[in-house]
Amino acid sequence: MGSHAESITDDLIEAFDCDGVVCLRGVIDADWIDSLCIGVDKNIATPSPRGRVWDHDDHGRTTLYDSQVWLDIEEYRAFVEGSPMAELAGRLMRATAVNFFFDAIFTRTTGAQFRTPFHQDEPFWSVEGYQTCSSWMPLVSVEKKSALEFVRGSHRWNQRYAQTNFGALTGDDRDQVEYTDRDDVIPFPDIESDRDQYDMLSWDMEPGDVAIFNARMIHGGSGNLAPDRDLKVFNTQWLGDDVRIIFRDEGMDPDHRDVMIEHGLAPGDRVSGPLYPEIWRAS
């Protein structure tokens, strides 16, 4: 694996820190995209036990989410271990070392309109820290109106919000988590009805482009597809130096608590071991 230091300029590092997201153009070669398309087709044909249909509309159009399948799908594993993504993430986060956290797919069939509710990722994760990132990587061309949207700078708002209950979205018994009234959170801002109040970022994207964002960023949308377009997104999540394990009372998705405990990991630990391997280290 050659170095990708040159793709990550100081300006990009600064933009990632200030805005919370950057869109990198053409950083993933076509061979990786072709291979991941094969992997995603396998994944759609046989979702993991974590696979969930987020939406199934009256026209039969679906939105599928699945996660942490990299150990079962060889194309995913090859990408996690061998692609430039870990280094791109590490350099953007200014991390000295980067561990892989998990993979996810978001796939929509042709013309699907379903939009992902706005949310932040960190409150759903079993870790916390600033040096986190998620890479949203479409495997097909996507129009700006159908791409993931980000609220610029929201990773620094320093405010905890009540998050979307994705269990209510799937209606699946396995996801039902009791959300309690908490006094450390305020209601999530209604971004959709008040879009003009927010500085929104999204892009027309081609295969090979990646939007990399901090897990504290408010993001959502996507969907809203033209009648002849589908959308396949492969996503990987990466963790840097300051990230530590935390188990939350509600809504961890995917919930890593059991596998972390099985692997001898506990709250306060740095994420590590065979399920969360270190993939890149600054030389």
Ligand X SMILES: O=C(O)CCC(=O)C(=O)O
For ligand X, the binding residues (CB under 6 A) are 106, 116, 121, 134, 136, 148, 219, 222, 233, 235
Closest among 27, 29, 140, 97 to 278, alpha carbons compared: 97
For residue 212, the minimal CB distance to ligand X (Å) is 11
Residue 179, judged by CB atoms within 10 A of its CB (0-12, 13-18, 19+), counts as middle
Nearer to ligand X, 255 or 269 (CB): 255
What's the CA gap between 197 and 172, in Å, rounded? 34
For residue 153, the minimal CB distance to ligand X (Å) is 17
Owner of token pair 């988590």: 177
Nearer to ligand X, 32 or 136 (CB): 136
**How many residues belong to the chain?**
283
What's the CA gap between 175 and 182, in Å, rounded? 20
DSSP H/E element including 58: none
For residue 183, the minimal CB distance to ligand X (Å) is 27
For residue 62, the minimal CB distance to ligand X (Å) is 13
Which 3 state secondary structure label does DSSP give 150?
strand
213 backbone φψ class: left, alpha, beta (φ>0; ψ -120 to 50): beta
227 backbone φψ class: left, alpha, beta (φ>0; ψ -120 to 50): alpha
For residue 9, the minimal CB distance to ligand X (Å) is 24
For residue 269, the minimal CB distance to ligand X (Å) is 24
Nearer to ligand X, 148 or 205 (CB): 148
Nearer to ligand X, 35 or 224 (CB): 224
What's the CA gap between 153 and 213, in Å, rounded? 10
Nearer to ligand X, 96 or 110 (CB): 110
What's the CA gap between 275 and 283, in Å, rounded? 23
For residue 163, the minimal CB distance to ligand X (Å) is 11
Nearer to ligand X, 203 or 263 (CB): 203
Which 3 state secondary structure label does DSSP give 185?
coil
For residue 233, the minimal CB distance to ligand X (Å) is 5
In the Cβ-directed half-sphere of 209, how many Cα atoms lie within 13 Å? Answer: 17
Nearer to ligand X, 252 or 273 (CB): 252
Nearer to ligand X, 109 or 116 (CB): 116
Dihedral angle sign, alpha carbons of residues 164, 168, 174, 177: positive
Q: Is-contact 232 88, C-beta < 8 A?
A: no
